[in-house]
Structure 1
């Protein structure tokens, strides 16, 4: 595609600008063609000439306060299930009848869940009593997740849950509500993100200044004569 070709040409032009600058400041021999050596010289050039201040604690804290939803741990549940698989070859009414019978038995005798999971479940988890372990939002197919995180649902759900895989008897054993992660726990992550953003902007400005001082045919790079370009 033409757009992809344009991006490729621009990347090559930027690479050449940086290579030329590395030669000009004595970090690279002019005749060097080895790409690994050229790449190392360009990295050294960027480290030497592109200033990227470290984000302050105040800046990190401001980002944290403005993006609180990003730093919340999700709701979790501990769950078990028994799967009655539905495929084109099975008799669906018969499978549903067996699943409903098992559900009714478990509502009376919930302690039999592991035994029935081992005997009836078409999921490998049946060997572990149907245990799915700790499950978060997005870990399961939407229809199953909806049942797991239904407000107030706990214990053995009184209705079968239907998914693309079949019919499930579901037990929700424990709920762990999401919580806000403290600033101290995410400060380093925020600092790394902000630093990456600053580095990207500083590099664009640096390349823009180089482009303003050079002539490259066949490709357009935003150029500036000032390092203060925004």
Structure 2
């Protein structure tokens, strides 16, 4: 290789190129990191949102101007000032009775008190090292075997002991009786909350996907519980709808602030929860 040549000569190779320096994270010229400090992406994004809010409060004269070139930590008093500013600038009207009633009518199954199912499962856990495609194939093979008419009565429990990545596998996968608040949200949605949730007793005809992986599920029993009236849950629904509306309004307001600012070294468009730290 001749002197002064900086690479191997391949057009697609970057071995001779100097690495591009990372852009320092800042908001309107105020650095988000102290010298030598590192933060995970989510934590850095939250700090950027907090600095945006601090600067807006200072612009409105609610907080004193900051003379340093590094973002200050927010005190409890600062946070109270910012929260009061957001309450004033991002008002959220309370939901109407009609809105609450529509929510209730479309999700009545969510308000069944005492509803429970008795189920067992075989969990095929998704882990960082697992080949998900092969895992799904193995789970579907086991489900197909169990749905055959000639499947032995004890085969589910046997496969649970052999294949399940859940400790309940030692008990044949038995989960016992549980309600919608005692299981993963995905399972609760399948068995309790959908407009047409999985009803009846018996083996589910498809895999159920949750944050933990893929489940083969069999329902052994059901307790329907009592349907709560609209009047009993109206306040709870109103609070939930108000929280959803406020979250959307805050997100829109913060995106507006970000669009007006010069933000470097951190991606704010992907954030979905711009809240004060």
TM-score (norm 1): 0.50
- Structure number with the higher helix fraction is 1
